[in-house]
Structure formats: C-alpha cells, structure tokens
Structure 1
Amino acid sequence: MGTVTALYRYPVKSTLGEALTSVAVTEAGLSGDRVIAVLDETGAVGSAKHPRKWGELLRCRSRLDDSGTVCLALPDGTTLPVGDPELDLLLTKLLGRPVRLSSVVPEHGRLERAVPTYAGGVPDVLRDAASVDETGESITTGRVAGGTFFDFGRVHLVTTTSLARMREAYPAGDFDPRRFRPNLVVGTDTGTDADSGPGFPEDAWIGTRLRVGEALFRVVVPTPRCVIPTLGHDELPADPGIMRAVARHHRVPVLDLGRLSCLGVYLDVLEARRVEVGDAITVHKAD
C-alpha cells in the first residue's frame, strides 16, 4: 500500500537534521535520533515549540559523522562535535543565555510550548492553564517522554497523501515534509477513510501494526501539530497559514485531549530492524 520515500533523523533535538537512505531502528527509535538536547540553567529542554526562546536552533543542523559522533553546524557554518566546549559557548552566544549540550535527560527537565492562536493547537485544558513567560509568550509546560528527549512517540511518520491533501486545501502553502520533521515519509495511494475523510490514510492505521521493510511498528496516536511547521526551515520560509490550514481541515480526536490539529502519526517500535528508502509498507490488524 506504500513505500518509504524519505528518511530523516535529528541527532540534536529541534535542529535541522539529516536525510538518510538507510538507518538502523532500535527499541528507542531511529538510531541516533534526538540523542542530544540543548539545556539551559532553568531546566528547560531546548525546543523550537517555543520559538521566541529556542527558535535559533532551527537554523542549526545536526548529523552523525562516520565515527558516530554527533556534529552540530551553526548558522555561520561553524561545525564542531558535541563535547567540544567551544560549541556550548557558541550556542550560548547564539541563544543569548547560558546553555549546554547534553546526552543526559534531566530528571526534572521542562518542555515549553508556545500556545497557538488557531483552534485545536493545544488541548483546551492546557490553554486555560497557560502562563506568560519572560519572553512575553503564552506557554504551556510539560515534560519530555520518560528517559528520552522525545516529546511523545519514538518514531514519527507522515504520508505523501496527507501532504497532498493539505496542498489542495491551501495552495499558497509549501507542504514540504521537512516542515513536519518526520522520521519516515511514506508514499501512499490516495484513498478515503469513512471516519477521516479523503486524503488522510494514516488516520485509519491507529492501533494497527505497520511493517516497514523488516521492522515492525505499532501505530499509537495521531501527531498533534505545534507552531514548528509554520517556522522557516532551511530554504523554506515561515508561513503561519500552514497550521491554520491544518486546523481548518484536519482536527481529530487524540487520546482524551479532544480534537486537535494533526498531521501524521506516532509509532512505537515492536521489532527493531533496518529501514531503507524504497522499503514496502504494509498495515496489519493488531493481534
């Protein structure tokens, strides 16, 4: 029913990542994905979900070199391995406050998210509890997934069909998959699901098992979208209309959080194997 058309990983959380042709999948997700994060002295984990505070991270790019060392390229082109003390100093200058790179998830690390103005951008209960921080932004505060730098799911998938559906809904927008920071981009045949409507096939996969080449995943939940897709990514310009369009055309139930603006799905790893571009995708009902 589809094939893997692109693979991405992001070794340093909230930075631009790297395109791959093949990657090992572990129980924790794609090997090398989100293994490092930028932390500040308040205990916050660097996330461009709070653009006023961390948006400069999206102008940096991380990758693994041939030895498996995580390297970070800054906006001026300076590239250093994580662990080089100069890199922390340069990031501190870039972000305007003391920060450091870490592979250790802080026990009480906070994850801050700007509250979008569009409907479905955050659960109502969290919107009501939001506070304004020192940047003047209305934010909510939560935690990363236990023991990781992931927000929730270990693997994130989007389909070309969903992206095409959103292009039809908002022709002025550039729905390049990189805006949505997926691990897997899956080329799918256009179809209609009775519940999700035309163009969002992954909605029907929740609770199923997904065979991707030799690896096996469980499709856990739709992916709620934050402000990140609206920000500039590499040569892609900022476009606030991207998420307004998703909010208008694809709000779906997510756990007990209500109907949220979603695109893509989160996966858990059931069988860790290697995944490659071109691998076939098959959907299997849960046992």
Structure 2
Amino acid sequence: MGTVVGISVYPVRGCAGTPLERADVGPAGLAGDRAFAVVDPAGRVLRGRDVPGLAGVTPTGHPDLDAAAVTAALGQAVRLEPLTGRPEGAAAVHLVSRQALDRAAAGVVPAGCGAEDPRANLVLDLPADDERSWVGRRLRLGSAVLQVTRLPKHCLGVYAEVAEPGTVAVGDEVVPA
C-alpha cells in the first residue's frame, strides 16, 4: 500500500513538530506526542490557532528548556503543564500521505481543510492509494496496528486509533492488517 516516509511528534501542544526516525506507539499514540500544554500567568492554556508564535518553537522534549524557548518566542512568561488525556477531537495518530500534501500544494484541498500545517504524526508515500478511502480499515506499520477511524474536520489525511501497540520507523511498509 505504501511506505512511512516521515514521523513527527508534537511534545508541546501548538508548537512545531519534532521529527523522528522511529517511535513507540502506545494506546494513546506516539510516545512523547502532546505531552505538554503552554499556560500563561493567568492560567489560560495557549493554543496554536490563538497564538501563532507557538508554531515557530521546536520543542526539545525537556519541559524547562521548552518553557524557556516559548517564553522567549512569545515575550511573556509561560509554564508548561502536563496534558492528561487527549485534547477534545484529537485521535491517537494522524496520518497524511505525501500525495495529499502535493495535492494541497497545488491548491487541491478537501472542503474545510487547512493545508498549511497538517501536523501529521506519520507521513506516508502512497503511490497508488488515497488514505481518505481507508476509514474503517486496519493497517500495520512496523509492529503497530492502527484502526483508521475518521477523516479530520480541518486538516488533511486520516485519524486512527491504536489497535496493537508497537514501533514504527521511517521506511516501514504500510500493509493491511
């Protein structure tokens, strides 16, 4: 069906992704993904769509260093707080094909989707397939099995839940499970 060509986690919600060559996939998704939220001095959680400056910060995965980097980027003191549970509407894993990214770059974007930052955990090369047709299917990527559950409302690709935890790496094949 295809090949994994990119893996990213987003350790701090709203910030840039951290590219990886390999990731452990647990019941909640990729290890280290969406681990922290940025909180201002008034206790409000800052989100990327409300504070675009977050997207320019690439987290290290170390909360103190990441809080200092976000503070410097935003020009205001912030702290990071651990996220418990999954943000509303989020799935465990977000998959997007290189082909969908190419279509979006050419201006072909599904209605309601934003193509500027797909925030995908897994980027796939699917020369003869379209991930939007996968809803309801199970896929094996490395030793992990994902159940594709739905199309996102505002971004490219598909959302999946973890059927069997495992490890996925760049270069792994995507096959039916």
TM value normalised by structure 1: 0.53
Corresponding position of 1:60: 57
Query: Secondary structure, in 3 states, of the residue corresponding to 2:117?
Result: helix
Comparing both chains, which one has the higher relative contact order based on Cα–Cα distances under 8 Å and sequence gaps of 6 or more? 2
C-alpha spacing 1:270/1:178, structure 2 compared with 1 (3 Å): farther
- C-alpha distance in 1, partners of 2:106/2:52? 29
Corresponding position of 1:180: 118
Please list, as runs of the form range in 1=range in 2, the aligned pairs for 1:100-115 lying within 5 A after superposition.
100-105=79-84
- C-alpha distance in 2, partners of 1:164/1:16? 20
Are 1:19 and 2:16 matched, yes or no?
no
Please state how far the C-alpha of 1:24 moved relative to its aligned partner.
Answer: 0.8
Corresponding position of 1:216: 145
1:101 maps to a residue whose letter is L
Please state how far the C-alpha of 1:18 moved relative to its aligned partner.
Answer: 1.3
Bigger radius of gyration among the two? 1
TM-superposition CA deviations, 1:114-156 (whole Å, max 9, x none): xxxxxxxxxxxxxxxxxxxxxxxxxxxxxxxxx2346511111
Please state how far the C-alpha of 1:39 moved relative to its aligned partner.
Answer: 1.8
Corresponding position of 2:31: 31
Please state how far the C-alpha of 1:283 moved relative to its aligned partner.
Answer: 2.8
TM-superposition CA deviations, 1:28-58 (whole Å, max 9, x none): 11001110110235554221122xxx11111
1:19 maps to a residue whose letter is P
Please state how far the C-alpha of 1:161 moved relative to its aligned partner.
Answer: 1.8
Are 1:162 and 2:141 matched, yes or no?
no
Alpha-carbon contact 1:56-1:95 (below 8 Å) kept: yes
Query: Secondary structure, in 3 states, of the residue corresponding to 2:52?
Result: helix
1:29 maps to a residue whose letter is G
Q: Percent identity?
A: 35
Corresponding position of 1:206: 135
Aligned-residue RMSD, C-alpha: 2.6
2:175 maps to a residue whose letter is T
Please state how far the C-alpha of 1:167 moved relative to its aligned partner.
Answer: 3.3
TM-superposition CA deviations, 1:50-107 (whole Å, max 9, x none): 2xxx11111211023xxxxx257xxxxxxx265xxxx39x72x6546653210154xx
Alpha-carbon contact 2:59-2:66 (below 8 Å) kept: no
Query: Secondary structure, in 3 states, of the residue corresponding to 2:13?
Result: coil
Structure 2: gaps spanning 5 or more residues: 109-114
TM value normalised by structure 2: 0.83
Structure 1: gaps spanning 5 or more residues: 65-69, 73-79, 106-146, 171-176, 192-200, 226-261
